[in-house]
Structure 1
Amino acid sequence: MAALAISGCSSSGEHTDSSAPTSKTSAPPSNSSTPQTPPPSRSGTAGTAPTWTPPASDPYRAWQAKPKGPIAPDAQDIHAKSVPLLNNTEATYGSESGSKCWPARASALTSACTTATGKAEQTAQRALSWIKHEPATYFTTLRTNANHILAAAGHYRTDRCADSPAAAPVRTRCQASAYAIAQAYPYLRGGFNAALEGR
């Protein structure tokens, strides 16, 4: 019997499990690989919604466009372990526009996002720990997406994004990092789902 793909804020075409828990902190499921459009924004000062435009496309959500490869023998078992991890963590910390790190929210460049950053980083590290013994030909999307989350978390700290930097280039980098962190659970969910198809 084929495994059910992980539920949650998935990109268009991903399978979902209707039995998955819902959360008031999470954004509703996305029906497109294009991120949700944020509400009208104001000036980029601390405590107000910053000016931000979502990317036109997101390659880390477009895993179904990747070519298929070999499927790991334990892909289904690892996928099953990931379901409660992602659903429970996402229900607590939110994702996409439900995350404190969503760049259109005033909290994106504050300590509120720092907490979410740490949890996203921890979750990505745990996902990688489950597949560290696997050959490089397996779980390619999951590795790519998890490492992208880790890089974003590192940049968020290095750029001191929680201090709401005033310099425009730094704010732009911080918003890009915050966006990746807000997408962490959809990114990881996509990675585990992709592994079921050898992507």
Structure 2
Amino acid sequence: MKLVVEERISVDEGQFGSGTNSPCSTSSPQMFTAKCKAAAAATSEAADLALREINGRQGFTTLDSVARKLQDAVRTYGTLGCATSPTAADTRKACLEPAAVIAQGFPDLRSGANLGLAGKY
């Protein structure tokens, strides 16, 4: 499980970055663009992979929670139309939280996997 998930995370993180280096970082000028939308899609796919890999396995509560939170953030980002550079201030503000979750997605998935493997759930 660790190798499959880590490989996916590493490839996507190399392409899109994470944290403040992510196009979805709330300080990034790309947060309201297709670049963040692509990073969000990659993050969602990595979360999906993690959930498939841990399906039925005990001890991965944190990874399960992180992956589901990421999926929700990606859905919210898409539903709000954040990648289309919305002009309404309330919409732009609503985009900040899901974008921040997405930006931190790869490190959070990695940490969740590591905690599970270490028996720390």
Q: TM-score, normalised by structure 2?
A: 0.91
Structure-2 separation of matches of 1:86 and 1:114:
17
Q: Which amino acid aligns with 2:110?
A: R
Structure-1 separation of matches of 2:19 and 2:105:
8
Which residue of structure 1 aligns with residue 12 of structure 2? 89
Which residue of structure 2 aligns with residue 198 of structure 1? 120
TM-fit CA distance, 1:157? 0.6
Structure number with greater Rg is 1
**Matched pairs, number:** 120
SS at match of 2:30: helix
Structure-2 separation of matches of 1:85 and 1:111:
21
- The answer on 1:169 being equivalent to 2:90 is yes
- The answer on 1:156 being equivalent to 2:77 is yes
Which residue of structure 2 aligns with residue 184 of structure 1? 105
TM-fit CA distance, 1:79? 2.3
TM-fit CA distance, 1:93? 1.4
Moved over 6 A (4+): none
Which of 128, 147, 165 in structure 1 is aligned with 2:51?
128
SS at match of 1:108: coil
Which residue of structure 2 aligns with residue 105 of structure 1? 28
Structure-1 separation of matches of 2:34 and 2:12:
18
CA contact (8 A) 2:5 2:49 kept: no
Worse-matched range after superposition: 159-168 or 115-124: 159-168
Q: TM-score, normalised by structure 1?
A: 0.57
Worse-matched range after superposition: 161-170 or 144-153: 161-170
CA RMSD of aligned residues (A): 1.3
Structure-1 separation of matches of 2:5 and 2:42:
15
Matched residues, percent identical? 31
Structure 2: tracts of 5 or more residues without a match: none
Structure-1 separation of matches of 2:120 and 2:28:
36
Bigger RCO of structures 1 and 2 (CA < 8 A, at least 6 apart): 2
